[in-house]
Amino acid sequence: MRIVVENVEKRFVDSKKREVTALENINFSIEEEEFVVLVGPSGCGKSTLLNIVGGLLSPSGGEVYFEGWQDSKPPRLGIVFQEIALFPWRTVYQNIVFGLEEQGMSKAEMKEKGARYIEMVGLKGFESAYPKQLSGGMRQRAGIARALAIEPHLLLMDEPFSALDAQTRTLMQEELLSIWNRTRLSTLYVTHNIQEAVYLADRVIVLSRHPGQIKEIIRIDLPKIGRDQDKHREAFEAYSNQIWQLIRHDAQEALKEG
C-alpha cells in the first residue's frame, strides 16, 4: 500500500479576483513506513498540499489516492494541526480518545489505547487536565497522541512544532523520532525548518513558489536514529546546505512580497 499524489494542482481566486496557481504538477508517492517531509519557503503551498492529501481541501486537478487499498472501509488519516486544535472543553484523555469514540470503540478498549498513547507521548498524570492548563509543548503532545491513537494509515503533520520555543522544539523532534520508530507510520510532514526536515525525513520534497512546484526530491541517506551525532555532522550539514541553496532565492522573494 502506498499513497500516490498524482498531477495535483490547486488554483484559487484571490481577493483582487485574480486567479492564482498555488500548486502545479505535483507528483510523488509515500511508501509504506516512509517519512516524507515537505519543505519550502512561506507561500509555496506546502500546507495547502497537506490539506489536499488530508481530505480537507479539494484539488483543482489531479488526485490523491491509496494504491493497493483492499479494505472496504476508507483508510484512516491522522492529522496533527499547526494550531493544535484540541477541543478546549475536553480533558487530555477525552481529546486523545476522540477519534476512537468516533470509530465506535468500546469503553474498555478506548481506555487501554488511550492510556498507551498518553504514556507514549509522556502525558501520564495529565489525563484529566484541560488543554488550557498545559504548556504549548504538552498540548502538541496531546495533539500527536490524538492522531496516533486512531492508528492511522497515513499520519499528516502540518508544522506541528512551529509554535513552540526552540528548546522544546528540539526535544519534541527527538521524541517524535522515537515514537515514529515504534509506530513506523507512513508520514507526511510539513515544515519550513530545514534542519528539522533533514533530521526527520527519509525523503525531503523541496517546493518552490509561484507556482508551488516540486523543485527537487532529496533522499536522506543517513541512519534514521542519531543523525545529530558528530560522525554524521558533515553529511547533515551538506544536506541542509543543499536544501537551503534550493530555497534561498524563493525565500528572499517571499520576504520582499511579505
Q: Which residue of 23, 50, 77, 220 would you call a contact of another protein, by CB under 8 A?
A: 77
Of 32-61, binders to another protein (CB under 8 A) are 52-58
Q: Which residue of 14, 15, 16, 72 would you call a contact of another protein, by CB under 8 A?
A: 72
b/e 80-98 (16+ beta carbons within 10 angstroms → b):
bbbebebeeebbbbbbbbb
Q: Which stretch binds another protein (CB under 8 A): 40-48, 72-80, 92-100, 130-138?
A: 72-80
Q: Does 75 bind another protein (CB under 8 A)?
A: yes
Q: Is 257 exposed, middle or buried (0-12, 13-18, 19+ CB in 10 A)?
A: exposed
Q: Does 214 bind another protein (CB under 8 A)?
A: no
Least Å from the CB of residue 188 to another protein: 12
Q: Does 29 bind another protein (CB under 8 A)?
A: no
Least Å from the CB of residue 186 to another protein: 13
Contact 83, 162 (CB under 8 A): no
Contact 180, 225 (CB under 8 A): no
Q: Which residue, 30 or 123, is less far from another protein as judged by CB?
A: 30
Q: Helix 107-120 crosses helix 136-149 at what angle (to 10 degrees)?
A: 130
- Residues at the contact surface with another protein, assessed by CB under 8 A: 4, 52-58, 63-70, 72, 74-75, 77
